[in-house]
Amino acid sequence: MKKLCSFFILTLLLSTTYIMAQNKAKVLVLIHSDNGGTYELAKEIAKGIEIENNAVSSIKLVKASQNPSLKGLPVATVDELTNYDGIAFGSPVYFGNISTGMSEFLSKTVQIWTSHGLEGVPATVFMSAGSGAGKELALQSFWNSLAVHGMVLVSNGIRGTEELNKAIPQGNSVLGITSMASLKDVERPTKGERHLAELQGKNFAKVALALKDTRSKKNTPIVENHQNFNEILKQKNIVLPQVPKPAGNYQPFVRSGNLVFINQVALKDGKIFNAGKLGIDVNEQQVKDATKVTMLNVLSVLNEAVGGDLGRVKQCVQLTGIFNTKDDYTKHADLMNIASDLAVEVFGEKGKHARATFGASSIPVNSSVEIQAVFEVE
């Protein structure tokens, strides 16, 4: 009899625990963090969310990070956003705006927007600033992006100011907590900023719980045609080199809208591979080998431009090959086929592109080839 009673009590406790868990709000703390400042605030936000035991929180990144303090964190997917009762968004401040990583993640939510998948879902924001300049603009830009989805924007209001040390600058804002990460000789986030972040999480959990059953959950089907390009590259024995460092006042790539622009030469292991002029210093096969090295550099830069997810490449739009040749040379197209074939080998139909090839009397750093590339990305 005692065993039977114990079994029923245990069953009742498990059922009660399950019901209580079901009644809690499920909140995502979604962040992009460069040096860990935003993550430190995220931990305080999550602590506040769970402090009254009415919500559970999950901290996830918008993109994988090599920062040791962030490496073990899971990466969120766009299609899981509609499964939460509330989302707290955190980002560094980039020139009075949200970070590139966060912006790129939000740019992939178009299908959720068209189906109103986040409409009525509460959202709150927090940011890690450098000097603190531009933080209000950045917070407002964050709100603007979320308002397009019809999310319920939950401000931090004026709370917890009695805990702030008035002798040092603080990241307090009614729109959401910030931390002034670049100030020296002061631990960031400060004790006061951490307290405000906890209060923001606590307040947000109440709102998320209150709105939990007021909308129908929409598990928006997101069509992910992304292949595992790491596996594809491995199967084809293609190894991407490290992204070459710029030799001047320019960037390895520039993104404008959905287009990524890249220029590369035949740099390998810090040196120009098969340098010189075709027919004088190098032969055709050496230039073809240099063309492959150059195209691998292009793909490496592209991989960085899409945050390590080559599945976001929609199309190779244009490749232009420039070759260091004598005036009477005419087989430029044969040399460039190496790059074109590599693009198709990696991306399939999406790798097929428009192309131009021509010769030049010289190329910077005495490379035998230079490739200009344009890709369309998500």
201 closest CA partner among 34, 57, 369: 57
Can you give the pLDDT at residue 126? 94
| Radius of gyration for the chain, computed over Cα atoms and rounded to the nearest angstrom | 26
Say whether pLDDT at 168 is over 80.
no
32 closest CA partner among 125, 144, 151, 108: 125
If you average pLDDT over each of 135-149, 163-177, 266-280, which comes out highest?
266-280
Residue ranges of alpha helices (H) inside the chain are 2-23, 37-50, 100-106, 110-114, 135-147, 191-211, 229-235, 284-305, 332-347
pLDDT mean over 327-341: 94
Taking only the tens place, the pLDDT of each residue in 64-105 is: 888 888 877 888 888 889 999 999 999 998 888 899 999 999
DSSP state of 127: E
Can you give the pLDDT at residue 10? 42
| pLDDT top residue among 135 and 109 | 109
59 closest CA partner among 79, 84, 92: 84
Distance CA 271, CA 95 (A): 35
Can you give the pLDDT at residue 223? 40
Distance CA 99, CA 38 (A): 11
Can you give the pLDDT at residue 131? 65
Q: What percentage of the chain reaches a pLDDT higher than 70?
A: 85
* C-beta of residue 118 within 8 angstroms of C-beta of residue 59: no
For 276-312, letters b (16+ CB in 10 Å) and e give bbbeeebeeebbbbbbbbbbbbbbbbbbbbbbebbbb
pTM for the whole thing?
0.54
Residue ranges of alpha helices (H) inside 217-261 are 229-235
Q: What is the mean pLDDT of the chain?
A: 85
What CA–CA distances, in Å, run from 284 to 49, 263, 274, 292? Answer: 64, 22, 11, 13
Can you give the pLDDT at residue 37? 86
Name residues whose C-beta falls within 8 Å of residue 190's C-beta, 6 or more positions apart in sequence: 165, 168, 170, 179
Q: Please name the residue that has the structure tokens 């976001």.
A: 312
- The 3-class SS string of 60-89 reads EECCCCCCCCCCCCCECCHHHHHHCCEEEE
Can you give the pLDDT at residue 247? 78
Crossing angle between the packed helical segments 284-305 and 332-347, to the nearest 10 degrees: 40
Can you give the pLDDT at residue 226? 46
Say whether pLDDT at 2 is over 80.
no
Hey, what are 187's tokens? 């631990």
